[in-house]
Amino acid sequence: MTPLLSLRHVSKTFGSGPRAVRAVRDVSFDVSRGECLAVVGESGSGKTTLANMILGVFGQSSGEIRFDGRALPSRRTLEHRSAIQLVQQNPLSSLNPKRSVGASIRLGLDVFGIGRRSDRWRLVENALEEVGLPGDFRRRAPAALSGGQCQRVAIARALACQPRLVILDEPTSALDVLVQARVLRLLDGLRRTKGLSYVFITHDLSVVRNVADRVAVFRSGELVECAETGAIFENPRADYTRRLIGAVPVITDHELKLRESLSGGLPA
């Protein structure tokens, strides 16, 4: 079966001449249907540039991005836009403070013509209920919601567009740990029930360990290592991956032992 998303030799250069910045360099990987691929890297690794290219915010400089077996055009069709959705890091800034939560969710339904016009508020309420919020939250302003609730709304907005692939850009790193745990469980459950694929961008390897099927490690725009999650945490190949694992703060002795054995005495 063809993978849902497939990148082949994708590069992105900003600017030109001696001041050009090569943000992404010759990157190739696949995301299968129903799979969660974690994209891991620190600042400047190119992970956000990568997300923006998949979303069509800007095109790639070279290489090819294929979705469902066909090359994605630089000007996306409505179908592509609705099929690839985004959940951003900062839940407060990703919702317009001056519009109701419902209006933000409904925008996608209107643009993509999902459902009948008279039905759409009901669809908005369904989307809210799917992420564990009461339907009448649609009348609320984002300021009246907690950070975790805002992030649920952002997830509802993405789901309402009936996507097949969701780009999760650090979806829990702005949240408190208790809220993070609930949002992670919600995302995991939605992926299974709806057969979604995720590109899960994060710098937090302990999150990756528990939600991802495969991991792609990026550094300075290059793909350092890409393997099954189990393999990455049992036998990391790249020194950089070992260093990342060595820097993860842990809370149990069990984890500490694992971390020490994996980072292999490398300085953190």
Binding positions for other proteins, rule: CB under 8 A: 42-43, 55-57, 76, 78, 81, 85-86, 88-90, 93-99, 104, 107-108, 111-112, 147, 154, 157, 161, 176-178, 180-182, 184-185, 187-188, 203-207, 209-211, 233, 243-252, 254-255, 258-259, 268
Distance of closest approach, residue 204 Cβ to other proteins, in angstroms: 8
Nearer to other proteins, 26 or 220 (CB): 220
Distance of closest approach, residue 183 Cβ to other proteins, in angstroms: 9
Nearer to other proteins, 28 or 93 (CB): 93
User: SS3 of 9, please?
Assistant: strand
Distance of closest approach, residue 66 Cβ to other proteins, in angstroms: 19
Distance of closest approach, residue 1 Cβ to other proteins, in angstroms: 26
Nearer to other proteins, 205 or 226 (CB): 205
Nearer to other proteins, 58 or 129 (CB): 58
Nearer to other proteins, 26 or 112 (CB): 112
Nearer to other proteins, 28 or 96 (CB): 96
Number of helices followed by number of strands (H, E) in the chain: 10, 10
Distance, in Å, from the CA atom of 130 to the CA atom of 152, rounded to the nearest integer, reads: 9
φ and ψ at 203, to 5 degrees? -110, 0
Distance, in Å, from the CA atom of 119 to the CA atom of 9, rounded to the nearest integer, reads: 43
Distance of closest approach, residue 239 Cβ to other proteins, in angstroms: 12
Distance of closest approach, residue 119 Cβ to other proteins, in angstroms: 19
List the alpha helices (DSSP H) in the chain.
47-55, 78-83, 101-112, 120-130, 147-160, 177-194, 205-211, 229-234, 239-246, 253-263
What are the CA-CA distances from residue 72 to residues 43, 115, 161 (Å)?
A: 27, 25, 18
Of 209, 221, 218, nearest to 184 by C-alpha is 209
